[in-house]
Amino acid sequence: MRRFLFPLAIFLVLAGFLAVGLRLNPREVPSPLIGKPVPAFRLAQLHASDKSISPEDMRGKVWLLNVWASWCVSCKQEHPVLIDLNRQNRIPIVGLNYKDERGAAITWLNQHGGDPYAVSAFDADGRVGIDFGVYGVPETFLIDKAGTIRYKHIGPVTEEALKSKILPLAEELSRG
């Protein structure tokens, strides 16, 4: 009986490691930008190419930066959630329209229920996206009043992610 104990112990340890490993999402790479100042940029606005937008303009507010594109399939999934969030008027959402075409992006917004963004920055070649460490769209950053990145959500924003993590943290940051 005792000689089975050792292999059994090894098996249990291995099974434990695999159980944890299988639950991890390999696409969720922790961002080194959490706790760092938001990368500086000044980009043309999506809807008005003669106007610009910069994180500086958002100083003093707690805000979300949502990276999106008309070619991004899972952006469709989060779009209604963002529209709903915008309606609640709880936190301003700034869009970063990533590697897109102006016409396609605006058409996409019109076709998918409207524009949830206070303003969208137009990052045609994706250079600003690289500064944010963007590797898969959509990605969403929570930025505090001082312009520090506090949280990053990878993949489509869900009601649950908003309720359990993003909005409570945003409220805490607004009070502080």
Partner 1 sequence: MADLLLLAMRKSALALRRFLVLAFSTFILAPAFAAEGGAAQPLGDPVVEARVNRLAEELRCLTCMGQSIADSQSSFSSDMKREIRGMIVAGKSDKEIIDFMVQRYGDFVLYRPPVKSTTWLLWGGPFLLLVIALAFLAVKLRKRSAQAGSELSESEHRQAASLLGKSEGDGK
Amino acid identity, position 173:
L
Of 24-32, 50-58, 80-88, 111-119, the segment contacting partner 1 by CB under 8 A is 24-32
Is 140 a binding residue for partner 1 by CB under 8 A? The answer is: no
Q: Are 115 and 64 in contact (CB under 8 A)?
A: no
Binding residues with partner 1: total (CB under 8 A): 15
Among 73, 130, 160, 165, binds partner 1 (CB under 8 A): 130
Of 7-15, 53-61, 123-131, 156-164, the segment contacting partner 1 by CB under 8 A is 123-131
Reduce the DSSP state of residue 149 to 3 states and report it. strand
Is 31 a binding residue for partner 1 by CB under 8 A? The answer is: yes
The phi and psi torsions of 42 (rounded to 5 degrees) equal -140, 115
What gap in Å lies between CA 20 and CA 6, rounded to an integer?
Answer: 22
**What distances in angstroms separate CA 81 from CA 60, 78, 166, one per listed residue?**
25, 5, 13
Is 13 a binding residue for partner 1 by CB under 8 A? The answer is: no
What gap in Å lies between CA 157 and CA 74, rounded to an integer?
Answer: 10
Is 136 a binding residue for partner 1 by CB under 8 A? The answer is: yes
Q: Which C-beta is closer to partner 1: that of 93 or that of 149?
A: 149
Q: Contact residues for partner 1 (CB under 8 A)?
A: 26-27, 29-33, 99, 126, 130-133, 135-136
